[in-house]
Every structure is written in C-alpha cells, then in structure tokens.
A and B are shown apart, each in its own frame.
Chain A
Amino acid sequence: MSEVNFTIDGVPVRARRGQTIIQAAEDAGIYVPRLCFMKGVLPGGKCRVCTVLVNDRPQAACTQPAMEGMVVKNDTPELRGWRKSVLEMLFVEGNHFCMFCEKSGNCELQALGYRFGIDAPRFDFQFPQRVVDASHPDIILDRNRCILCGRCARTSRELDGREVVDFVGRGHKESLGVNGRRLADTGLRVTDRAVSACPVGALMPKRVGFAVPVGKRLYDARPIGSEIEDKRKGGA
C-alpha cells in the first residue's frame, strides 16, 4: 500500500506512504500553521504551533506520519486558541521589536500573529537579556529575535553540510550556541542556506534590509498560509 487515506476536519486526504500529516495536508491545499517546520529539512517538533488532534490526541503534524484511517482535527476553535497561546508565549519570551526589524513584513512569527489576530499577548513580557553576535563580517545573529526553532541548525547540517550552531542550555536558559567562540569562527557563509532558513530576523545577512516597500512585502496583503490554501480553491 503506497497510499494512505485519512481525514482532516472531515475532508478526505490522500497521503503518500511516509508523509507526515503536515506534508499531506499541504499537498491537499490544507494549511496547518507552523513555524519550526521547513520543507527540505527534517522536522524539529519544537514550536508546537502545528499541533493537531489525531483521534482526539494532540500531536505535532510535522512529526506524525499519516496513517490509514486517522481522524485529524486541524481548524477547530480549541486548537486555534491553544496555538494562539503558544504564539503569544513566543512573543513574550524574546524581545520582538517589529518597528525597526529588517524582517518585518516577511517574518513568519509576525505573520502568524496577524493570522491569529493577536493584538497584544495576554502574558507578561519577559524582557530577557539576550546576546547579539555581530562578529561575522556579513551575518548578524540577534538572539533577541530568536524563537529557538532550530531551522538554521538543521539546514546547516542537512543541506550545507556544516556544523555551525546548536542549542545550548537547558529549559528557559536554552539559546542558540555557535560552533566556536563567536559566529565569525564557525565557517558560516552568508550564501549558506542556513542563513535564509531563519523565519524571523534572528539570523540575517548584514547591509540588506528594507528593500521591499511596505505594502508589497510577503505578508502585507494576505495571511501566511494563503499560498497553500490557494491550492484547494484553485481546484480540489
């Protein structure tokens, strides 16, 4: 059996054997919100934004393989509420100053905030002290904005073939460590795919920013996920 049939919110979905729920959903034009999942690299299961209910049990859609007969719930008020809370946690955990960030308008965290209608997080801002590493001549690592998604680490290992960054510290002390004393010592190059893998403004090329006018950026006009949902509207 190379095919798996299951449902998402009652809609029949056909998956290839080995696909995860999020992959099968995307192919079917169903958007499961996500942050730490990126096509082309293994999933990390870190952000938990993609949590769905599988036979009424919460599972990350990015790591759960699709299985025959699964009943998946994705777009329910309950899940929307829980996901919204998780996004709010990310906003208060770091120092996210959108107003001067070069990623604004193209930022996946921000875009999810918009999609979920977050006007202000309901949790207290933590205002943590985070270290900025500007040692590299061409790349900046601003940990204030890092959401600990791990896309850079996985992309660097799996696609660039380098060992550049990894998580250090336990619990709320978790942060992005570099393979060396500073980012400049790691061999990371601005052309590495790891740099473009960052969904937010944490790992960014220097001297590039604000090139696209407000109104024309990725998520100015339409919510993140629209391009996936278009597939369904285009022709199911």
Chain B
Amino acid sequence: MSNDLKQAVEAAVGRCGRDRSRLLDVARDVQRSQGHISDEAMELMASGLNTSRVEVESLVSFYAFLSREPKGRQVIRLSDCVACRGRDGAKTEAALESALGIKLGDTTADGQFTLERTSCIGLCDQGPAALVNETPVARLTADKVPQMVRAAREGKLAGAGFEVVDLVRQRGEVLLSGAPAGKGLERALTLAPEVVINEIKDAKLRGRGGAGFLTGLKWQLARAAHGTPKVVICNADEGEPGTFKDRVLFTQAPELVFEGMAIAAWAIGASEGILYLRGEYEFLRPGLEALLGKLRAGGKLGKNLGGKQGFDFDVRIQMGAGAYVCGEESALINSCEGKPGVPRDRPPFPVERGYLGRPTSVNNVETFACAARVMERGEGWFRGFGVEESTGTKLLSVSGDVAKPGVYELPFGITLADFLKTVGGEGAQAVLVGGPSGSFVAPAQFSRRLGFSDLPTGGSMMVFAKDRDLLEVAQSFMEFFVEESCGWCTPCRVGNSLISQRLESIRRGEGLPGQLDELAELCTTVKKMSRCGLGQSSPNPVLSTLTHFRPLYEARLSKKASAILPSFHLEESLAEASRLQGRPPVFHEE
C-alpha cells in the first residue's frame, strides 16, 4: 500500500476532524488528490473514520463525481440536457471527441482528459455547456472546442472566454432590485421568534424550490420540535433541469440568502447552518466562503449574531458530488451526514428529526431571500405581489427556444401566454413548466397561470418551438431520471427504465395502439408506488405528453400488418450469429 496514499487519506480524514458524518467531504478530498478512490483508499478511509469498507463503497458508488476507476487529470463533463444542448449539442460532442481523439466515456492516452456526459449543470441559458473539473465552460459551440481544449491543456481555461455570465432579463422588486441586505434581520431580531414566524405565515410565503410548502408552518414545526442544536439548511442543490435561478441569486444577491438563513435560525432557535451546494456549482464556492467570512467579521454570523446576546448561528458549506436526488430534503440531509443521498422514510419529518436526528428546516435558496425581504418590508408588502394563494414574485430560469433566455423575476399569477411574450417565445409548441418533474403545457392551455394551485414551478421554464420532437425531449428526460434515481425502491428503480424502454420502442415505430394506455398505466403505477418525490414525478414527461400531445404518439404507431410483433427485428437479431458463423441468414417459406 502506497505511503503517499496513506498520507493523503490520513490528511483528508484529519481535515474533517475524524468525523464519520463528514465521509462525503473526505471522499471528495481523496478524489481530488488521487484522481479516483481505489479499493485501498476505501479501506484506509474506513479505518480512519471507524466505519466499514462497504459503507465507504456505498457512498463512493453513489455520487457521479466520485470514481472508483482512474480518470484523466481533467474530466470534461458535457451537459446532456436538451435545453443547453440546444440544436447543436451533438456537434459539440462530436467536436470534443475529435479534438481529444477519444470517444465519449474514454480517457486520452496521456491521462490528461476524460470525456463524459453529465446531467444538467445549471447553465441552460448559455449552452452548450460543460464542466472541466470544477471550471464551468459556457457557450461551447463546436467551432470553439479546439480553443477550449488548448486552453484547458495549458491550464488557462479561466479567462478564455467561456465564463458564466448572469443573464438577468427582468428585475422584480423583491429579490433582484439591488436593495441592500441586512434590514430584515435587523428587524427580526427586535421581534420574538414566534412573531417572526407569524409574519412569514401571514405573508403566505411558500417554498421556492418547487414543493411549495408553507415556510412559516415549516419553521413553526421546527420551533416546536425537541432536540438541540437545531439546524437550518439551505438547499442549493438546484438539480431540476432548466433551473439556474439560484446560481444567479448567489451572484446577484447572496447576502439576502444568508440573511434569510439567520432569520430562520432566530425563528426556530437554531445555532447550526449548512449551505448544501451542488457539486456542479463548486466554482461559486470561493465567493460564498469569502462572503461568509465577511459576514462573520461584521457580526452578521457567529456568536451573538447582530448583537443579540446568546444568539449564535454560523453556516458551513457542504458540497454535493453530482446527484439530482440530493435536492430532496431528506436525501440532502443524508448526504450531509456522509451517506448516499437516499431519501428517508417519513414520518419522522426533518423538522422533527433531521440532520443528526435534530429538528432541521431545509429551505430553498430563494425562499431564504424572500424571507429576508418579508421581514424587511412586511408581509403586507410581500402579499402585494402575485395572487391570493401564490404571493410574492418568482425567479424563473428560462431556456430553450426563446429570444431572451435567462433569469426573470415575475409576479405569480401571470399567464403562460404573457410569459411567452415577455421572453420572446411566442408560437411555442410546448412549455415545460417545472422541469421534467413538472408538465408539458400545450398552446390550448397557455391561458393557465403560474402559481402553486395551477402551474407550480421551482423556476425551470423550458420552451420548445414547433420543430422540436417532443417525444425525443421526453426520452432524454426519462433517461435523466433513470440515471438519477437513487435505486432504493422498486417502482422508481425499475419502472423508469421500463417507461424509457417503451418510449424508445414507440419512437422507433414499433408501438401498438393498446400500448399507449398501458404506458399511461405504468406511469401512474410508478407515481403512486414510489417512495419519494423523484419517482412520484419522474413519469411526468411521458404522462403529460401522452395526455396533452397524444397525436404525437399515435402518429408513430406501427402500421405494419404481420404476425410478428413490430418490436421484434429478425434481421437485426440474426446479425451477430451471421457474422460469427460467416454466412447470411436464409429465409425460407414455412
């Protein structure tokens, strides 16, 4: 066993205080220093953290950014999401294969580069996009690939013209107005925690991550629960394809977010805070750590926060490692505890027993920012935006076939038709509201309104023009869910693959009429029987297109009249034997 490896693992374990719950950080550390996590490394990690080798393997094998096999020094992860891939994403992929001289999935002979696909990385408005290790690469059109590879090889990728930019298209008054942060927390600290909670409840602030749970209620439950120290967690996993508004909020108004976390801590009586930042956003980390340092120096984090004696609250950043399911709050908590991101059985809910068994409130990035502004300007002001059951504004991340992709802060209650006018997407064939977990909406329904009662969204808004193949889009999303399913429960682990296979078969023209209803039934079964929100919504791309775009499926049904099923391909299935035995098949009359 190599001494270097021993030292590296020992150092990683030491940096995490030999704390078993920090296994994910230890693994990330070893991955970074060694390029992969070998069997030996896992054994060392296990003994260093007093856990078992199989538990380490369980974690390492779960996250996409941790690898048991050696990879290149620079891993190029090309986003395969339809939005940023756009119409020319395939060309970018081909150009990368050509420039590197390898196929997707392989590593260059000199050990410099590995080329892979990855799920949405949150650069949907400036694709095609990729990550080169932690460095984001935007606007990577095929013609720019050679230049990008050269720059990466020379270690000069930053500043080579592929930087992520904030495309803020419309600023609202709540979040992107540029108003300085701080007054909300100031006011909150003059009020009793219960009063703060009531104000958040009166504002009818609902979770901005997509689920839309009443924030005030969540804080109330966490406050009432027993266990200490309580925890406030900011969910910055932002994995739903088409969502990038938190990325922008972190560059436009990050102080508001931390202010909101501090207000939550005051309200529920928490002293510990965690910002769970998706691995794909590692490039945001230095800026956020610097801001946390500045807030601590200014007394806005740490002991006696804001001058309030006895109110201690600080925030640490927990990095993710490539797993969409970690956006689910209980999976996120498990990830924070150094486990695979498998959701938990509920009850108990995180507000009762969350991080390390203590009452925990997990809220979205945008929710915290909204809370800060509610406390600053009052619940009445907040309710002045939006509509009755969906108060306030919503950050929308808009991508796809629109003239102006980017982030818009719009009031709840606007119709899809008005939305499309605003973003330059009129004449769309469909709008995907809420990402693949949401639903495809057809033009006949563009009078529907964005909001929690009709068309909820965590922010993802993807627009598809008339020339797009919606079934191909649905297929890519089913493949996303197959890749991202945690695998714990049968219906999601197996059902999504079955749905995806059936859709592929229909797209190949093998479908029979009865199979459409069967497919819808399978989708419903997966939704009803799945253990967590992922499986409960993963069939939506197929189910919503079957419901609202059924003619697209019917047009593809097989027209062949033969005793042999259209899904059985005799010549194809004989090809290999034919090749091995050196003769073509002979077709007789039976």
Whether A and B touch (Cβ < 8 Å) is answered with: yes
A196 part of interface (Cβ distance < 8 Å): no
A58 part of interface (Cβ distance < 8 Å): yes
Are A86 and B525 in contact (CB-based, < 8 A)?
yes
**Cβ-neighbour of B525 out of A85, A163, A174 (below 8 A):** A85
Are B528 and A82 in contact (CB-based, < 8 A)?
yes
**Cβ-neighbour of A170 out of B39, B323, B345, B518 (below 8 A):** B323
Q: What distance in Å separates the Cβ of B137 from its nearest Cβ neighbour in chain A?
A: 25
A174-B487 CB under 8 A given contacts A168-B58, A181-B39 = yes
Segment at the interface with B among A25-33, A118-126, A208-216: A118-126
B495 part of interface (Cβ distance < 8 Å): yes
Whole-angstrom CA separation of A64 from B347 in the bound complex: 7
A111 part of interface (Cβ distance < 8 Å): no
A-B residue pair count with CB separations less than 8 angstroms: 119
Among B477-509, those with CB < 8 Å from A are: 482-491, 493-495, 497-498, 501
Interface centre among A43, A51, A85, A181 (most CB of B within 10 A): A85
**Cβ-neighbour of B498 out of A48, A51, A89 (below 8 A):** A89
Residues of chain A within 8 A (CB-CB) of B497 are: 126, 172
Are B522 and A85 in contact (CB-based, < 8 A)?
yes
Residues of chain A within 8 A (CB-CB) of B494 are: 89-90, 92-93, 172
Q: Mark B501-541, 1 if CB is under 8 A from A, else 0.
A: 10000000000000000100010010011110000000000
A46 part of interface (Cβ distance < 8 Å): yes
Contact size range, A: 35 or more
Interface centre among B483, B487, B491 (most CB of A within 10 A): B487
Are A63 and B345 in contact (CB-based, < 8 A)?
yes
**Cβ-neighbour of A163 out of B52, B490, B518 (below 8 A):** B52
Are B491 and A86 in contact (CB-based, < 8 A)?
yes
A172-B485 CB under 8 A given contacts A165-B54, A166-B55 = yes
A169 and chain B: residue at smallest CB distance: B61
A163-B55 CB under 8 A given contacts A82-B528, A85-B522 = yes
Residues of chain A within 8 A (CB-CB) of B489 are: 45-48
Are A122 and B485 in contact (CB-based, < 8 A)?
no
18 interchain pairs, CB-CB under 8 A: A46-B488, A48-B530, A60-B531, A82-B525, A85-B525, A89-B490, A92-B494, A93-B494, A148-B487, A148-B490, A164-B54, A167-B488, A168-B58, A169-B62, A172-B482, A172-B494, A174-B493, A179-B54
A180 part of interface (Cβ distance < 8 Å): yes
Are B487 and A170 in contact (CB-based, < 8 A)?
yes
Known: A45-B489, A48-B491, A58-B529. 13 other contacts (CB 8 A): A43-B345, A45-B345, A82-B529, A85-B522, A85-B525, A86-B490, A86-B529, A148-B487, A163-B54, A171-B484, A171-B487, A174-B487, A174-B493
Q: What distance in Å separates the Cβ of B496 from its nearest Cβ neighbour in chain A?
A: 8
A225 part of interface (Cβ distance < 8 Å): no
Are A170 and B498 in contact (CB-based, < 8 A)?
no
A8 part of interface (Cβ distance < 8 Å): no
Are A166 and B487 in contact (CB-based, < 8 A)?
no
Among A37-53, those with CB < 8 Å from B are: 43, 45-49, 51
Interface centre among B494, B497, B498 (most CB of A within 10 A): B494
Whole-angstrom CA separation of A85 from B520 in the bound complex: 13
B52 and chain A: residue at smallest CB distance: A163
Whole-angstrom CA separation of A135 from B44 in the bound complex: 24
Q: What distance in Å separates the Cβ of A15 from its nearest Cβ neighbour in chain B?
A: 15
B354 part of interface (Cβ distance < 8 Å): no
Among B370-399, those with CB < 8 Å from A are: none
B97 part of interface (Cβ distance < 8 Å): no
A178 part of interface (Cβ distance < 8 Å): yes
Are A48 and B490 in contact (CB-based, < 8 A)?
yes
Residues of chain A within 8 A (CB-CB) of B61 are: 168-170, 173, 177
Are A170 and B62 in contact (CB-based, < 8 A)?
yes
Q: Mark A89-133, 1 if CB is under 8 A from B, else 0.
A: 110110000000000000000000000000000111010000000
| Nearest 6 Cβ contacts at the A-B interface | A174-B487, A179-B54, A89-B494, A163-B52, A63-B345, A171-B485
A65 part of interface (Cβ distance < 8 Å): yes
Whole-angstrom CA separation of A181 from B488 in the bound complex: 23
Are B525 and A170 in contact (CB-based, < 8 A)?
no
Residues of chain A within 8 A (CB-CB) of B486 are: 170-171
A164 and chain B: residue at smallest CB distance: B54
Whole-angstrom CA separation of A89 from B498 in the bound complex: 9
Residues of chain B within 8 A (CB-CB) of A93 are: 490, 493-494
